A and B are shown apart, each in its own frame.
Chain A
Amino acid sequence: MPDLRKWLGLPAVAWMAAMPAFAQPEKASPTLPARAVPLTAGELKTAIAFDALTVPTPGEVFAAIDKGGKPNWSSQYRPPMSFSSTSRAQVALNLGTLIADGYIAVEAQDGQQVKNIGRDVFTLSKKLSVSDSVLARGKSITHFAENGAWAQLNEELEATQNEVKKALEDNRDGDLITLVSVGGWIRGTQVVTGLLMQNYNADDAKLLRQPALVSYLREKLDHVNPKLRQDKIVGQVSDHLEAIEKLVNFPADHVPGPDEVRNLNGLVAEVTQQIANVP
């Protein structure tokens, strides 16, 4: 899937951000359109799901959390990891968790942490032979981190993630894209539940309802190539996702309580440790 910023170049995006207010479209109030009809069974069945639009970035859930005030993002940092594993599956999963760590550092407005994570992302990208596409982004990330350009850093992280995925696709490593997405979502969920355990509130707890997303990731994981499927870590993550799916599958009007949040946090924390190969 083409990357918008690569396609247009970052300056164009920056230019759009500077567009005058009169360029804004006139909008109407939210309404249910007249003659609105539900989707047909055929439309539901053939609806398109794909990584670039169906899987939200960690930045999107973190943006929702920011609405309720500034949480203590730095409390969700992890100790630096060592990357001894030669399993490409494990490296891809770790890469996803690390990119999520990058978003946390941006939310915490911690330039040094952003740069540290940027270096680790590059190290892991090298192991997957996609470091060339990350190198240029790494320079931008360092530049923005040193200048406290947090909004641009968010965009750069998203672009980095997409360039890694695009490079994996070009290298015919498409299955690893799924693992990067899974790693990112699991780490993001660990952070959300971790913050909720510190300071529970119902609005943020409602963010945990994502049954279709986990179902999508599980489905994709079930269809990775047999060699990758046999990797121990893929089996472990897949098993955990089944249990996690049950915890994030609740009615729209249900608000998970503190105990449900704690259970989910325990599960995702366990998977994150397995991904990081922490005994």
Chain B
Amino acid sequence: MKPVFALTLSGLLMLTAMATQAEPASNEQVAARSEVLDLAGAFQNDGFKIHDGNLVGKVTRDHAQVVLVNLYSGNAYWFSAATSPSQSLKISLFDDQGRPVAYEPYIQGNRAAAGFSPSASGLYYVKISNDDVQPATFCLIYSYK
């Protein structure tokens, strides 16, 4: 099976721009990170370890963010995201062909999470979206065990 994965030069430029945030974090980013770590901390009680990396970005109703992750069968994962208190987010998961997969949803106010135990190792897509026309600053992290 040939994976859908195809990293274009524009994609590379985009990820470079997102990954090398030279400017200091905004207040919204700081708040989103704090919130998401609080949420992921609860999963730590279940033995989940936080993967030390995060994505900070913005989503609107018309512009969701999709991130590629590589997962291992046998592990359980929680993808967690948070935004500012007045907004909300949704996380959804897709297989390497972009088809929806079943996951454990969690949405509470400005926090969202998706629990997933892949039956096959490999590529998955994580989509962060919201229903608001106003841009929502979010922070995404994941935990595994």
Residues of chain A whose beta carbon lies under 8 Å from any beta carbon of chain B: 1-5, 7-8, 12-13, 15-17, 19-21, 23-33, 36-40, 43-57, 59-61, 63-65, 67-68, 151, 154-155, 158-159, 161-162, 169, 174, 203-204, 206-213, 215-216, 219-220, 223, 249-253
Q: Which residues does chain B contribute within 8 Å of A51, judged by CB atoms?
A: 19, 53
A154 x B52 contact (CB < 8 A)? no
Q: Which residues does chain B contribute within 8 Å of A7, judged by CB atoms?
A: 33
B49 x A155 contact (CB < 8 A)? yes
Q: Which residues does chain A contribute within 8 Å of B39, judged by CB atoms?
A: 25
Q: Which residues does chain A contribute within 8 Å of B97, judged by CB atoms?
A: 38
User: Whose C-beta in chain B lies nearest to the C-beta of A5?
Assistant: B52
A32 x B102 contact (CB < 8 A)? yes
Alpha-carbon separation in the docked complex, A223 to B9 (Å): 9
Question: How near does chain A come to B95, taking the closest CB pair, in angstroms?
Answer: 8
B45 x A21 contact (CB < 8 A)? yes
Q: Which residues does chain A contribute within 8 Å of B54, judged by CB atoms?
A: 1-2, 4, 52-53
Pairs across A and B, CB under 8 Å, 16 listed: A16-B40, A28-B105, A45-B11, A48-B68, A53-B55, A53-B142, A59-B49, A63-B49, A169-B19, A204-B74, A206-B121, A209-B121, A212-B3, A216-B7, A249-B2, A253-B120
Q: Say yes or no: is B70 at the interface (Cβ < 8 Å to chain A).
A: yes
Alpha-carbon separation in the docked complex, A105 to B30 (Å): 35
Q: Say yes or no: is B41 at the interface (Cβ < 8 Å to chain A).
A: yes
A27 x B106 contact (CB < 8 A)? yes
Count, A-B residue pairs, CB within 8 A: 253
Alpha-carbon separation in the docked complex, A155 to B33 (Å): 18
Total interface residues in chain B, CB < 8 Å: 83
B75 x A63 contact (CB < 8 A)? yes
- Contact for A54 among B68, B108, B121, CB less than 8 A: B68
Alpha-carbon separation in the docked complex, A155 to B99 (Å): 33
Q: Say yes or no: is B133 at the interface (Cβ < 8 Å to chain A).
A: no
Q: Which residues does chain B contribute within 8 Å of A56, judged by CB atoms?
A: 51, 69-72
Residues of chain B whose beta carbon lies under 8 Å from any beta carbon of chain A: 1-12, 14-16, 18-21, 25, 33-34, 37-46, 49-56, 64-75, 92, 94, 96-106, 108, 111, 113, 115-117, 119-123, 125, 127, 140-142, 144-145
B14 x A48 contact (CB < 8 A)? yes
Alpha-carbon separation in the docked complex, A65 to B73 (Å): 10
A211 x B123 contact (CB < 8 A)? yes
Alpha-carbon separation in the docked complex, A229 to B55 (Å): 29
Q: Which residues does chain B contribute within 8 Å of A44, judged by CB atoms?
A: 4, 66, 98, 125
B125 x A211 contact (CB < 8 A)? no
Alpha-carbon separation in the docked complex, A43 to B4 (Å): 11
A16 x B18 contact (CB < 8 A)? no
Alpha-carbon separation in the docked complex, A33 to B43 (Å): 22
